[in-house]
Amino acid sequence: MAVRVGVLGATGAVGQRLIQLLDPHPEFEIAALTASSNSAGKPYRKAAKWRVDSPIPEDVGAMTVKATEPDAVPDDVDLLFSSLPSSVGAKVEPAFCEAGYVMSSNSSNSRMDEDVPLIIPEINGDHLGLLEVQRDERGWDGAMVKNPNCSTITFVPTLAALAEFGLERVHVSTLQAVSGAGYDGVSSMEIIDNAIPYIGSEEDKLETESRKLLGGFDGAELSEHDVDVAASCNRIPTLDGHLENVWVETSEDCSVEHAAEAMRSYPSLDLHSSPEPLIHVFEEPDRPQPRLDRTLGNGMAISAGGIRESTFGLQYNCLAHNTVRGAAGASVLNGELLLENGYL
């Protein structure tokens, strides 16, 4: 029997990707859709300005969008995927968890809370055990799991692969697609023929979330990795796919060949949405590129290339599809991990 799931913020850029991934999913069945009061009460087909690259599933298009409040979601829904703006998520997500729903959320609120697991399943799936602490402390029957920011998720898997060489300092500069800002995020007059060297709060997310993801969990609490991370974030006029330039200093020598092999052989998982391999390493110096490589592994693979030595240790480029691996797919994968670990 498929698990009945709901999507909070179902009409937005990430919400639409969630529907695209969940509709054919063998383990999940879409049973509830919510959005703002502008959309509530309308058929999904009318409420959503559908813009993903496949038609709206017939049955989903006919569903009525509900208000984003626990009473509006049927009790037999077990898992909620949240793609709400973080200011809204901060208010309503805890209420859903208190009402007994298990939540896999994209929104940035609570990502750094000490009792909230921030998860990339292939990297730190063991942090899911923190949910026991969360339930004890908050008295929830439900639970809250977060996936990281889309630009964090792009480079952290490559760092996890290099961790055996001792991560000391990391610099990362991003070239982020417009879909990362949501449909109303960046106007065409701002971004065409342009690049914007500022994305509010983004640099802080890369610097802090990466240390949490790479940290340890002793069964009671998390400890952050002590790697220093400095980020610089830029918006560019690509549609999907965040490209990042990374410099990594390690305590032990790490040749270009060892780095490529560590990334290429970093293990994936046997979950429905996990790609194989997790990290696709290019030999060509001009790859990965957003338009050519963002759909590798159904949009769930990380790709890396241009690995070389530099004054600041190793240097390389990496890429991930920001609304799939960086958002909707990341949440779905966390849902699969919750299911495998008996939380549903």
Ligand X SMILES: NC(=O)c1ccc[n+]([C@@H]2O[C@H](COP(=O)([O-])OP(=O)(O)OC[C@H]3O[C@@H](n4cnc5c(N)ncnc54)[C@H](OP(=O)(O)O)[C@@H]3O)[C@@H](O)[C@H]2O)c1
Closest CB to ligand X belongs to which residue? Answer: 12
Binders of ligand X among residues 19 to 38 (CB under 6 A) are: 35-36, 38
Cα 122 to Cα 241: distance, rounded to the nearest angstrom: 20
Q: Is 9 in the site for ligand X (CB under 6 A)?
A: yes
| Contacts of residue 79, Cβ cutoff 8 Å, sequence gap at least 6 | 3, 4, 5, 6, 28, 101, 102, 103, 104, 335, 338, 339, 344
For ligand X, the closer CB: 86 or 268: 86
Q: Is 304 in the site for ligand X (CB under 6 A)?
A: no
Q: What is the sign of the dihedral through the CA atoms of 171, 212, 98 and 66?
A: positive
Q: How many residues interact with ligand X (rule CB under 6 A)?
A: 31
Is there a catalytic annotation at residue 242?
yes
Pattern 170-189, ligand X, x by CB under 6 A: ---------xx-xxx-----
Shortest Å, Cβ 89 to ligand X: 6
Q: What single DSSP character describes residue 192?
A: T
Binders of ligand X among residues 56 to 85 (CB under 6 A) are: 68, 83-85
For ligand X, the closer CB: 84 or 144: 84
Q: Which of 127, 242, 280, 321 is catalytic?
A: 242
Q: What ranges in the chain are assigned the alpha helix state H?
A: 13-22, 44-47, 58-61, 86-98, 121-124, 130-138, 150-162, 188-191, 202-213, 256-264, 290-293, 329-340
Cα 199 to Cα 181: distance, rounded to the nearest angstrom: 9
Is there a catalytic annotation at residue 318?
no
Contact set with ligand X (CB under 6 A): 9-15, 35-36, 38-39, 68, 83-86, 88, 106-108, 149-150, 179-180, 182-184, 322-323, 326-327
Residues forming the active site: 150, 242
